[in-house]
Amino acid sequence: YHYAGLAFNNKGFSKLGEGQKMCTTCHGGSEATTANNFNQIPSRKSCGACHDGIKWDTGTGSTLSDKMKVVYATDSLPSSGHSGGAALDDSSCKSCHTSEGIKISHRTENITANNPQIATGLASFRYEIKSAAVNATTNDVTIEFGIWKKISPDSTESLVTLVDAAPGVSNSLTGFTGGPSFLLPYAMSQDGIASPADYNNMGPGRTSAQPRSVSVASLLNTNNAANGNMVPSAASPGYYTATIKGSGQWAFPVGAKLRAIALQGYYTQVTPPASPATPNARHAISVIKAVTGDAVRRTVVDANKCAGCHEWFEGHGGNRVYETQVCVACHVPGLATSGRGVPDSLLNTWNFNIAETKILTDWAFDKTLPNAALKFPVTTNNFKEMIHGIHAGRERVTPFQDARDRSSSG
């Protein structure tokens, strides 16, 4: 599907549900009188623009799902073909591919501007931080927050009731695994600058300039009482008050400025409808709140503009979603790539997938050389430079290269 020299059928834009699946990004129905043709008038030409592995004259070939199964060079491309068999013309397309059926087939997992409906029975979550404060005497952090949930197709939200605090709590919501975590970004004096304009997350116990992460479940686990706890809010029914103790291991360092609290991550629904199959990750938009009385980290990027291409930008496996002010909590000036730390023993045995292999080939990288990882550049992962580098890749004289050492996490 080429338009202005761009193959849109190959552009995922880091979107949900296989990216190009979201036809309604452009075909919204209001911009052009024929915008709804994608679901009202199916044809071999229009559908084949994205579903380009099908051979219509025989009904054979590979579907998009088949293509997704080819990850490594050793994988074979399945040939599921067209379920309706050969299609020598477009006369019978609508007999199987109804307008409503096409909409359902191209529906993605989360409710977004261009995807207003999801499968019946799936949960959607919305996070809210009402307030965040730090006691000047004890350094205790107090967070009042709520988690809103609705079940499709119902549009009514209600505040969730988390499990009771108890020893060993690992899942905070019945019917779901995983769950969100708080991030605690901040700035300490650095290089003679008493009040930096960016988070730097410096101090004891911090590595790679990263903020502390404290899960909701860990605050309900009474084994962690020395570090923090969580109770229902006394002031706001349905909300919770989380306390991170200033004397514990999770607190802000004394003297920290520009402090903020973010809530990010997601629940996985383990009792969803029959389709899609269990379990189902229920990603949610991340939120952030400055600590009362602290300077607020400046806002440069309008997340709504990112949504013009990415709908919901989802970073780190859907843990950080949409809100760029949460991105800058971790992508700080002191963060750089760690690729040079990858040991030869891992590089020599690692099975790179097709996409990764192409990147390394383009970089003329030879993983068999001694100390091969030292050929990787050290690239800043500060949000500004990283985002500019990624989006200006074609215009750069020096290609943007980013290699991370995942030897400790896979």
Which amino acid, 98? T
Digit-coded pLDDT (tens) for 161-214:
999 999 999 999 999 999 999 999 999 999 999 999 999 999 988 888 999 999
Average pLDDT over residues 123-152: 98
* Token pair for 24: 């309604």
The distance in angstroms from the start CA to the end CA of the chain is: 35
For residue 277, the model assigns a pLDDT of: 72
pTM for the whole structure: 0.91
Residue with token string 């730097």: 200
Q: Where are the beta strands (DSSP E) in 248-319?
A: 260-269, 280-282, 287-290, 314-315
Residue 345 — pLDDT band, cuts 50, 70, 90? Answer: very high
Residues 410, 408: Cα–Cα separation, whole Å: 6
Looking at the predicted structure, is the pLDDT value of residue 13 above 70?
Answer: no
Q: Is the peptide bond before 276 cis (omega within 30 degrees of 0)?
A: yes
Residue 17 — pLDDT band, cuts 50, 70, 90? Answer: low
Residue 271 — pLDDT band, cuts 50, 70, 90? Answer: confident
CA dihedral of residues 198, 244, 235, 325 (deg, nearest 10): 20
CA dihedral of residues 240, 291, 284, 334 (deg, nearest 10): -140
CB 146 within 8 A of CB 296: no
For residue 50, the model assigns a pLDDT of: 85
Parse the chain into domains and list their residue ranges: 2-105, 123-322, 339-395
Q: Where are the beta strands (DSSP E) in 82-226?
A: 123-134, 141-151, 158-159, 176-184, 212-215
The least confident of 28-32, 120-124, 216-220, 310-314 is 28-32
For residue 176, the model assigns a pLDDT of: 96
For residue 15, the model assigns a pLDDT of: 65
SS3 assignment, position 388: helix
* Token pair for 181: 């975590």
Looking at the predicted structure, is the pLDDT value of residue 12 above 70?
Answer: no
Residue 410 — pLDDT band, cuts 50, 70, 90? Answer: very low
Look at the alpha carbons of 202, 205, 207, 212 in this order and tell me if their dihedral is positive or negative.
Answer: negative
- Strands 240-244, 228-232: pairing kind: antiparallel
For residue 29, the model assigns a pLDDT of: 64
What count of other Cβ atoms lies within 10 Å of the Cβ of residue 249? Answer: 14
Max CA separation in the chain (angstroms)? 78
Digit-coded pLDDT (tens) for 66-83:
998 999 999 999 999 999
Residues 261, 140: Cα–Cα separation, whole Å: 13
Residue 154 buriedness (CB in 10 A; 0-12 / 13-18 / 19+): exposed
Percent of the chain with pLDDT over 70: 93
Residues 174, 163: Cα–Cα separation, whole Å: 7
Residue closest to 255 by CA, chosen among 173, 178, 190: 190
Residue closest to 205 by CA, chosen among 264, 250, 243: 250
